[in-house]
Copies of this chain bind each other. A is one copy, B any other.
Amino acid sequence: MIVSLILALGALSLLVALAYSRRVSSVTIESGAASDEEVARLKEISNAIAEGAMAFLKREYRILALFMGLFAVVIALTVNDAHVDFNTGLYSAACFIIGAGASVLSGFIGMRIATKGNVRTAAAARKSLPAAFSIAFNSGVVMGFGLTGIAVCGMILLYLGLGAILPAGVEQHIVMEILSGFALGGSSVALFGRVGGGIYTKAADVGADLVGKVEAGIPEDDPRNPAVIADNVGDNVGDIAGMGADLFGSVAESTCAAMVIGAASFAVLPDDVRTSALLFPLFISAVGIVASFISLFFVRPKSEEKVESSLKNALIGSTLIMVVGVYFASIKMLPETFQLGGQTYTNTGVFISLAAGLISGLLIGLITEYFTSHRYKPVREVADASKTGSATNIIYGLSLGYNSAVLPMLLMAVTVVLGFSFAGMYGIAMAAIGMLGTIAVGLTIDAYGPVSDNAGGIAEMAEMGKDIRKRTDALDAAGNTTAAIGKGFAIGSAALTSLALTAAFLTRANIPQINMLDPQVMAGLFVGAALPFSFSAMTMRSVGKAAFDMIEEVRRQFRTIPGLLEGKARADYATCVDISTGASLKQMMAPGILVIATPLLTGWLFGVQMLAGVLIGALIVGVMLAISMANSGGAWDNAKKYIETGQLGGKGSDTHKAAVVGDTVGDPFKDTSGPSLNILIKLMAIISLVFVPFFVNNGGILLKLFGK
């Protein structure tokens, strides 16, 4: 029964995505645009963006295919659970490939709909704001529900498939361990999506800004700027494909973590109760689809000012519905009491853990908004500090970021304590799943942002006029706030997911405790703490390097293409797209290898105790760094926008110029290094979980060598 229910809700999610995709497609560009020439211009621009985006994806996926193939071989050869008489590594590798494929598919769908929706939003903006809004929003729905549907259907089908293929009587925790390969696949794709996409988008953005806005003095998204198409491609590559892969990974990972932990505990239950208890984590995601779907109907902004609150209401609404939903789910599907690690817990306890995750996720989102929206004091202080120049703007922005990470961290501490107290390690996994419960609507709102942003860029490039641009700007402004909320939420859920995965890893490795005073654990904590800093340094420099290449190219075009700056000749957009693509794919390798190699080498050479230290060290440092970077970046962006509304001297003033410096520094902070850290902390933990059979058999060889 539960299996069909999950499958049905997963299918519902896919159907919603399909239906909304039709809605977007059904609106033609012609129906909005003012003239045939405008239609032609719009089509030309949007084709260039779509082609650039697809070109990037194809090149990225080609590299990925090679990498994933290699990694799958490593999994197949090294991972093998000694408790069964077949090679579990082969199955893990297969799940890994399927997970990677599902993530690629999700990214692909998202890109397709985003590059379709952006130009239609721009065209519809000529008609009315609500018309434009609904296209951008519907594009987001396709992404949100499509991705959630693929994740849920993928996992339940794999579970059924494994049940059919694996020898009868295999213990459930082995099945779940194998299934974790799916999450690893998804997360590995996310690594490259987030890091590569993040470098791509910011190299183009920084490059376009520094030469176009600062040196040549032409406005943002001006068609004369050769990097402008690359910049718009970047929004899709980073914020759509990258963000999607990230959250796809989180859903898969938190579900697998919970199922691995649960399997150990629920094995003793009678058959009928057992399956529903085992699949409970997946069912929660399915319930989230319903809650998210209902909340879609709250989103009907009547006017410009209502766009943002309307989106926020959907998020709050879905959270409230979800709290009710998970209550009944917990009561109905879980046994009243169950044993875990020698303790007895109740189904109400599981509900409390889920609710703690849900609510703290929402609160973290709202805190993020407070620190990054220019309606509140913190961002206004940063804007104010720009009066004395860019140095004080930077100092205030950095300190805002540091400060903004404190409350979310305390909230997570409370959530962890609640989850653990009421349902042990299972509770931590449940808190992560709770936080990700409303992912379908969350991702909808996230994806809405870059579509609106792109629509604005297209309107500018197609010279549709100020009125149209004003409408798309209103949509974009709302998108910026919700994007900030989404980022806070992505980091929070990544932290809990990583903790849940670490818990699952330790459960499977049969390690009941990690003594912090053990020198290996302590050394692990030190190494783990250093990782996010090393990783951020790499990704920030990568953006710098890639941006330098872009700057050189833009300067070259301004210099060598006669009539370009006067608007008489056309810029060579394709070369800029190529440069961003090549540079980002090259630059993503080193940080990628760092994240993958560290847990593998640590576990292999020094064993699971040190590995646990590394995971926790990287987690706590990574979360603080990620939140502070994302929020500093968001605040700088909005401080600049606040000044652009005419405050403190307005656009063109010295204060504005100072604020632009902060905004540029914030670009790699908020869109490259910050979000990439999510993947760092999650990926290291899921690698540890999938490779646990290897570490248990062959881990710590260096220590064994020295006879410890």
Contacts and interface: CB of A to CB of B under 8 A. Distances in A.
Contact of A417 (B395, B516, B520, B547): B520
A405 interface: yes
Interface in A509-551: 512-523, 525-530, 533-534, 536-538, 540-541, 543-544, 547-548, 551
Interface residues of A, number: 78
Given A388-B210, A544-B392, A403 B533 contact: yes
Contacts of A664: 389, 391-392, 395
A143 interface: no
Contacts of A416: 519, 522-523, 526
Nearest to A527: B413
Contacts of A385: 544
Contacts of A620: 525-526, 528-529, 617, 620-621
Given A402-B537, A533-B628, A537-B403, A420 B544 contact: no
A446 to B, nearest CB: 25
- The listed residue with most B CB atoms (<10 A of its CB), out of A401, A409, A660, is A409
A457 to B, nearest CB: 21
A491 interface: no
Interface in A621-652: 621, 623-624, 628
B527 A409 contact: yes
Report copies per complex: 2
A400 interface: yes
A612 interface: yes
A25 interface: no
Contacts of A527: 409-410, 413
A668 interface: yes
Given A389-B661, A413-B523, A540 B399 contact: yes
A503 B519 contact: no
Contacts of A628: 533
A523 B417 contact: yes
A628 B525 CA distance: 17
A506 interface: yes
Interface in A204-219: 206, 210, 214
Interface in A401-434: 401-403, 405-406, 409-410, 412-414, 416-417, 419-421, 425
- The listed residue with most B CB atoms (<10 A of its CB), out of A206, A412, A623, A665, is A665
A385 to B, nearest CB: 6
A456 to B, nearest CB: 23
A216 B152 CA distance: 64
A390 interface: yes
A392 B547 contact: yes
Contacts of A525: 616, 620
A503 B515 CA distance: 13
- The listed residue with most B CB atoms (<10 A of its CB), out of A412, A540, A613, is A540
A403 B406 CA distance: 23
B396 A530 contact: no
Contacts of A409: 526-527, 529-530
B544 A399 contact: yes
A49 to B, nearest CB: 25
Contacts of A530: 405-406, 409-410, 624
A394 interface: yes
Given A388-B548, A391-B664, A530-B624, A398 B540 contact: yes
Contacts of A421: 519
A528 B412 CA distance: 13
- The listed residue with most B CB atoms (<10 A of its CB), out of A518, A537, A548, A628, is A537
Nearest to A612: B516
Contacts of A513: 513, 515-518
Contact of A506 (B512, B517, B537): B517
A228 B520 CA distance: 51
Given A389-B210, A389-B214, A405-B533, A395 B540 contact: yes
A624 B536 CA distance: 13
B214 A399 contact: no
Interface in A7-45: none
- The listed residue with most B CB atoms (<10 A of its CB), out of A405, A516, A547, is A516
Contacts of A412: 526
A547 B388 CA distance: 10
B665 A391 contact: yes
A610 B660 CA distance: 43
Contacts of A537: 399-403, 406
Contact of A517 (B398, B405, B514, B529): B514
A679 to B, nearest CB: 17
A201 to B, nearest CB: 15
Which 9 A-B pairs give the minimum distances between C-beta atoms?
A391-B664, A420-B519, A413-B526, A403-B537, A402-B537, A399-B540, A409-B530, A529-B620, A513-B515
Given A395-B668, A396-B540, A417-B523, 17 more contacts: A210-B391, A391-B660, A399-B541, A402-B534, A402-B536, A402-B537, A403-B534, A403-B538, A406-B534, A410-B526, A410-B527, A416-B519, A420-B519, A503-B517, A513-B515, A516-B616, A525-B616
13 contacts: A210-B391, A388-B548, A388-B551, A395-B540, A395-B665, A399-B544, A402-B540, A403-B534, A410-B527, A416-B519, A416-B526, A621-B621, A621-B624
